[in-house]
Amino acid sequence: MPPEKGKRKEYLTVKDLQKLLDTCKLHLSEMDEVWPNIYIGNVSPKQADDSTHFDLDVYFQPAADFIHRALKSTNGKVLVHCIMGLSRSSTLVLAYLMIYRQLTLKRALHKLIQKRAIYPNRNFLALLLDLDLQLKRKEKRKCQNCQIL
């Protein structure tokens, strides 16, 4: 059944996210501040191949926790980097923004592509979509529990 006119699609797809990433007009640079005191950088201008099967999601919470603790420290700043600064590092920063700043994946992507050219691979985008759904479900349960009390 086609969606009703005027109704928004409930779930994003990897293809939707890639279209959003394609709107970024920035050129890749060595390091960019993508959020206050959070930087994404690259260590080499060489091409790097991110595995389409790597389970980066097991690092979402530990990386988000690390970034959060570092930013809370006096004059805290964080550099998240990988070979190109396009995929792995940006994925971990997106996870932080979703977990600690309560941004949706779409909103977090919008924020980052205003500051840096990023392009998480399809696998990482799918993992971030899963995280987005988990966080939305968790928030929905929390809201339902608040109404019961």
Which residues does the annotation mark as catalytic? 82
Q: Are 149 and 115 in contact (CB under 8 A)?
A: no
Q: Which residue has the tokens 């005191």?
A: 37
Q: Are 85 and 41 in contact (CB under 8 A)?
A: yes
CA–CA separation, 139 and 144 (whole Å): 9
Taking alpha carbons only, the member of 29, 40, 59, 41 closest to residue 124 is: 59
Secondary structure of 67-100 in HEC code, one letter for each residue? HHHHHHCCCCCEEEEECCCCCHHHHHHHHHHHHH
Q: Are 64 and 95 in contact (CB under 8 A)?
A: yes
CA 65 to chain centroid, in Å, comes to 14
